[in-house]
Structure 1
């Protein structure tokens, strides 16, 4: 609680694109070179070729033996994305918005699994959900590491992780103010200002306030976000950046979806269920969350070749939600057929979750040579301690009419029951070495990474302590060729602790993941000035073992064994380009073949939920630089999601859908007037059905007009 008070007080087609660009460059070379200083510069850092998440160093992405997608702030601003779920739409291998217009969390699926969220390289205080719903406005970049990443980050799912990099202070004065309005009564004020505030000190303050409704009747969302930052030049070789943020969310009236399948995905003789249907109580349902973090990034260079880096954060995240939700159509005689196809039974649910964590990562980076070999050696020790308390209440609630809901029923909320109170401590010792076999920037790069983790989980309700340990690694080989091409191959592993025990009382072992991946990257380094391009193509085969599955012994219906196994194989192609400050392209295609290969349940041989075999997307944007339209930008994108399944048994198929997004903006001097549209044609579609009682519509059309001023 004192920490929370302190927060308040302190505050595609990559190959086709690559083949087309040399011809364009040749024709340009015969003309007068483009004079970039005379055009309207709107996204100078649209394409990113360097990211720290893949190696915890500043190695180019072409030298990272793993698929990594970096979504820059310029991409986010130019295309008008306002949430993490929107930002990953044009990235391969990852899907989002799995539960429709949810104002609480960012629901993501990466290579078949829910990725864990990191902030500035440290795991966020995730509890019952793998992310914490932090606002995208506060971050400079989104990095998606695809595949096992435990060799650097410890326990994590085999599909990968998502790391958000906070906005940092700059040594030159600048900033932005924005006012935004849109449908569903959306109104937003956002600001960001940075610059020197004293000798050897730079500051930054980022803030946002937003209010909006959703497509569901009677739902309103409010959010406040503040993130102060301070960079100190402590010595010629020592830099310290203090980082903090505080976010408060309030969502009222949201029943969470939970629509019956009849009228959504199955026929209902009374008609289709409207996408605005809310089976909660607008005057009772609510979700309140307060979260924040405070910490620092420290960097000290002992020399040009030896550097010490430390990242540290205290996190806090407290959320409470309550209200009735739908539990399916009334079937009083239990014959499997709804009585009247309109009366929906409901239950009352309340849930409290309080997660506090402390994380610190200290690493030493040494660059040296042994004969003809050049080494980039990283040795680190990180530690994380997380306290997680969860309590809930389940009870009955009055039924409601599916097609003509009448609100105002009396809802009884009983006392909360604490069912989880645990502390988990993880300590990891890791080392990584990138070995270059040639003196220049080209040639072979061998990457070797290994990590030993010790995880202790203390259950304060049962006084049971579980000790887990695991060794994970990554070995990869990149060959950086002349011209920017870099084929690579890699093998990596991961682990995740699993709570619980078998019928005999034997504690579960961590689940394990392993992956083989091969691909090629292209960074366009030799293209003419004004053309930025980064493209990747990869194939992979991923396996997860020690997966929980029902105990096959009769008489043990509520127990599991660890004999399950999952396999995921896929192909991913992705390209991001920016040409002469005129054309922007985001192209991606992903093929994901997932299968439960060992199970005692109905999911045997089935596809993983919300993991479509095909996902394809293309966004193209053009900025006029000449004549009376100079400064006008127009963009449009289409994203296709193939058929998928909402449940593990694959009983509920999610139909394929193609959605269109668009943006129009006008830049003049330091002003921007923009219109953005998500799901431009307001298409109604199904997001997911997990059971006969739990269906969720996709997000309808969202339209917004914004006016911003940069300085």
Structure 2
């Protein structure tokens, strides 16, 4: 194994196979450290053959290293310079460095760093420095190189054996190195090279035989996304049905709905991320895995998985604050603080806070949010890392319930409906939702090839809601009949436990490299008994053109008064092997076995309803192949199956339980990384079917039968690029053909699925001027376009939602502040984001063909002032 660092290029060579990556110095040195861990406990010293120094001894770079213990100061120096620094622990123990700040050569900086310590140094090669006492004596050295020094990646130096003269490498948990690398890159570029969602291992996107797209932190910040929907719109195959002024997140992926069953948080399934919409204030990146993902994630709708990756503690202190002001009385503050809690940087923290008070373009539908996320990472040893985090997130508003087709997507004899129209219960309604989360992530590296990771999360969701909305519109096309639904006094509380344990091993068999993943997942969900009351009556009628919100919904007669009590338990076991058949040919095979137990007690509130339960099992396989004719190009194909049990509350006239829904996907595509990995593109074709859907029994009203099938197929194209310094682009195109292929109702067969257009295209680009009078300024802009789509496959007639194109724009100013300014800040950032720049009137989605249509946001302005410390 030979390894060398030269400038910003990192080259590795093993068994005659050579791979070249273009990275910045920090990412390169992290990659070096990851390779150390994979290859062996002990490595030979760097080979100097063909190696060039990452930092020439005569070139000057900027250093900002504070006075601190010498051990950690040397780690910071290695990180900044890219040099390899070798010394023994005992040589630096108990010593303090005065630090160094300013522009210096490596030799000048190291001289200042060692001032007063009684230590000196000598260059043993162009990029290797060995420390020694001033009298020339030294102990057996321990090498310290670049980011692998543990400062950035959170590593400690291996302890030297007593009396041993053997040289030992720096060790860092492999997963932590990858996480830190991604945290650093996600704030600087639109392009992501790695994603863990598809394989649950650190696998480059180019080696993944499935379409996966990543939205980095830089995209979130430059688009000023205060809802996940804004960021996810950039990805092909995702069709938004979420509303900016509602409490839920809701999307369609590849033609099928994706909500509670399709969102994970840091790799752990999290049903509350959809029912109480996540806020991007603590999101580091969004990873979207297309297609059925049951092989690793168990039960789920077949469109895909959205993995919300949150921000984690860093070893270098950093603080930021944003104040955002917008129209519709939006006031929002965001705070972020991270850094070490001790001098040795083995205990790290992060705290993010958000507070938002806002109205919206719609009456009564506010957008109020408060959230806080504390996180602590303990680097227990050079092999073991523990992160503990929590979250409190609350939204309080009213549920947006839609408007009739007449006046929104169809003509109305009384004229168009106003966009600010609210059809709920006015001041009598409420929809308050709170989520509490606490969990941990524990990783341990047994040796260079085997590691284990255990993650657990406990979450609670409280829902306090009273909602109302339209049922039907009268012939006068201005009066609607409404319903009232909710819990008058009780609070609905749900509990959720989730745990996974993964063991990852790297080994060689039959001269082929294997990465083996074995895992176990446990889930348990329980909803406390809650009361739900439905009221109907003529007293709830409502004039669309003369709204009267003084109507008391509590005076309407009660139609039903029900109690809900339900739960779920799941055990899943999965196996996966990634095999390098040849240097440029990789095979992925995996299978998962699930057992799901569900139960529910739903019935009249004053009675004790019978308990209904079901036991389901599922086997979910996946096969994939990746061929790379040249290094920047990957051709891939895959086949996979999905699994989703039906609720035991579904009524079957035979009394038998319904079989689980099954889905099957075939996918082929091409992935490319060009321009030194500054341009990434994916082109995919897929064919996805969903089977065993329950449909209305044509002979017995109120019952269902299981004969339905739906199919989605299409083409998706995604591009992310950081073409030159300061210029970033993200774009996508989607063609989706989604329809009903089997149903008891022949009129539904070949009908287009609701809310899914044939075509969708997005483009967003920003440019920040790097020099001249405009240095620090930047511009951004883009478009989002949908063609027309069917509102729903159910309901009278077929109503199309018209297509639309909306334009967005942004302006930026970023300015570095002089050291010692009265604010104590390093940088000020100012931006103005304009969404729906031309103020297009459009309907964003509908959930039926009569009264469930929703207007999209009018022109929205967000002005941000941020400080970085």
Partner of 2:686: 540
Partner of 1:114: 257
Give, in angstroms, the shift of residue 341 of structure 1. Answer: 2.5
SS in 1 for 2:468: strand
Work out whether residues 362 and 421 of structure 2, in 8 Å CA contact, stay in contact via their aligned partners in 1. Answer: yes
Per-residue displacement from partner, 1:265-290 (whole Å, max 9, x unpaired)?
Answer: 22222111111111223322211011
Which range moves more in the overlay, 293-302 or 579-588? 579-588
Which range moves more in the overlay, 111-120 or 453-462? 453-462
Distance, in Å, in 2 between the alignment partners of 1:376 and 1:307 is 11
Partner of 1:560: 704
Partner of 1:636: 781
Give the 3 Å change call, closer, same or farther, for CA 167–56 of structure 1 in structure 2. same
Give, in angstroms, the shift of residue 694 of structure 1. Answer: 2.1
Partner of 2:613: 465
Give the 3 Å change call, closer, same or farther, for CA 658–541 of structure 1 in structure 2. same
Per-residue displacement from partner, 1:22-41 (whole Å, max 9, x unpaired)?
Answer: xxxxxxxxxxxxx9x99xx9
Partner of 1:615: 760
Partner of 1:249: 395
Work out whether residues 401 and 468 of structure 2, in 8 Å CA contact, stay in contact via their aligned partners in 1. Answer: no
Q: Does 1:146 align with 2:301?
A: no
> RMSD of the TM alignment (CA)?
2.0
Per-residue displacement from partner, 1:36-73 (whole Å, max 9, x unpaired)?
Answer: x99xx995232111011010011101111111011111
Aligned ranges for residues 686-697 of structure 1 at < 5 Å?
686-689=843-846, 690-697=848-855
Aligned ranges for residues 129-208 of structure 1 at < 5 Å?
131-198=275-342, 199=344, 200-208=346-354
Partner of 1:292: 436
Aligned ranges for residues 79-94 of structure 1 at < 5 Å?
79-94=223-238
Aligned ranges for residues 655-694 of structure 1 at < 5 Å?
655-669=802-816, 670-689=827-846, 690-694=848-852
Work out whether residues 428 and 552 of structure 2, in 8 Å CA contact, stay in contact via their aligned partners in 1. Answer: no
Give, in angstroms, the shift of residue 581 of structure 1. Answer: 2.5
TM-score, L = length of structure 2 = 0.73
Partner of 1:368: 507
Distance, in Å, in 1 between the alignment partners of 2:294 and 2:238 is 19
SS in 2 for 1:604: coil
Partner of 1:392: 532
Q: Does 1:349 align with 2:485?
A: yes
TM-score, L = length of structure 1 = 0.89
What are structure 1's unaligned runs of at least 5 residues? 1-34, 331-337
Work out whether residues 809 and 837 of structure 2, in 8 Å CA contact, stay in contact via their aligned partners in 1. Answer: yes
Give the 3 Å change call, closer, same or farther, for CA 674–179 of structure 1 in structure 2. same
Aligned ranges for residues 492-511 of structure 1 at < 5 Å?
492-499=640-647, 500-511=650-661
Partner of 1:512: 662
Structure 1 runs (4+) greater than 4 angstroms displaced: 413-416
Distance, in Å, in 2 between the alignment partners of 1:691 and 1:292 is 37
Distance, in Å, in 2 between the alignment partners of 1:48 and 1:101 is 27
Distance, in Å, in 1 between the alignment partners of 2:641 and 2:563 is 32
Work out whether residues 99 and 696 of structure 1, in 8 Å CA contact, stay in contact via their aligned partners in 2. Answer: no
Work out whether residues 43 and 581 of structure 1, in 8 Å CA contact, stay in contact via their aligned partners in 2. Answer: no
Work out whether residues 117 and 131 of structure 1, in 8 Å CA contact, stay in contact via their aligned partners in 2. Answer: no
SS in 2 for 1:95: strand
Give, in angstroms, the shift of residue 635 of structure 1. Answer: 0.8
SS in 1 for 2:295: helix
Distance, in Å, in 2 between the alignment partners of 1:326 and 1:596 is 27
Per-residue displacement from partner, 1:418-460 (whole Å, max 9, x unpaired)?
Answer: 443111101000000000123xxx5011000100000011224
Partner of 1:280: 424
Distance, in Å, in 2 between the alignment partners of 1:93 and 1:213 is 31
Work out whether residues 125 and 356 of structure 1, in 8 Å CA contact, stay in contact via their aligned partners in 2. Answer: no
Query: Which residue of the other structure, out of 604, 623, 628, is the alignment partner of 2:749?
Result: 604
Give, in angstroms, the shift of residue 410 of structure 1. Answer: 2.2
Give the 3 Å change call, closer, same or farther, for CA 222–255 of structure 1 in structure 2. closer
Distance, in Å, in 2 between the alignment partners of 1:437 and 1:241 is 36
Work out whether residues 148 and 515 of structure 1, in 8 Å CA contact, stay in contact via their aligned partners in 2. Answer: yes
Which range moves more in the overlay, 671-680 or 346-355? 346-355
Give, in angstroms, the shift of residue 130 of structure 1. Answer: 5.1
Give, in angstroms, the shift of residue 626 of structure 1. Answer: 1.2
Query: Which residue of the other structure, out of 570, 575, 580, is the alignment partner of 1:426?
Result: 570
Distance, in Å, in 1 between the alignment partners of 2:656 and 2:238 is 35
SS in 2 for 1:627: coil
Partner of 2:584: 443
Partner of 1:378: 517
Give the 3 Å change call, closer, same or farther, for CA 595–479 of structure 1 in structure 2. same
Partner of 1:103: 246
Give, in angstroms, the shift of residue 592 of structure 1. Answer: 0.5
Distance, in Å, in 2 between the alignment partners of 1:173 and 1:101 is 34
Work out whether residues 47 and 578 of structure 1, in 8 Å CA contact, stay in contact via their aligned partners in 2. Answer: yes
Partner of 2:132: none
Distance, in Å, in 2 between the alignment partners of 1:588 and 1:229 is 34
Which range moves more in the overlay, 349-358 or 584-593? 349-358
Distance, in Å, in 2 between the alignment partners of 1:305 and 1:628 is 53
Give the 3 Å change call, closer, same or farther, for CA 189–111 of structure 1 in structure 2. same
Partner of 1:478: 626
SS in 1 for 2:341: strand
**Does 1 or 2 have the higher relative contact order (CA < 8 Å, sep 6+)?**
1
Query: Which residue of the other structure, out of 470, 473, 494, is the alignment partner of 1:326?
Result: 470
Q: How many residues align?
A: 653
Distance, in Å, in 1 between the alignment partners of 2:243 and 2:802 is 14
Distance, in Å, in 1 between the alignment partners of 2:447 and 2:189 is 29
Distance, in Å, in 1 between the alignment partners of 2:381 and 2:708 is 54
Partner of 1:216: 362
Work out whether residues 175 and 192 of structure 1, in 8 Å CA contact, stay in contact via their aligned partners in 2. Answer: yes
Give, in angstroms, the shift of residue 324 of structure 1. Answer: 3.1
SS in 1 for 2:540: strand
Per-residue displacement from partner, 1:523-555 (whole Å, max 9, x unpaired)?
Answer: 23xx35xx6121100000011110111223x2x
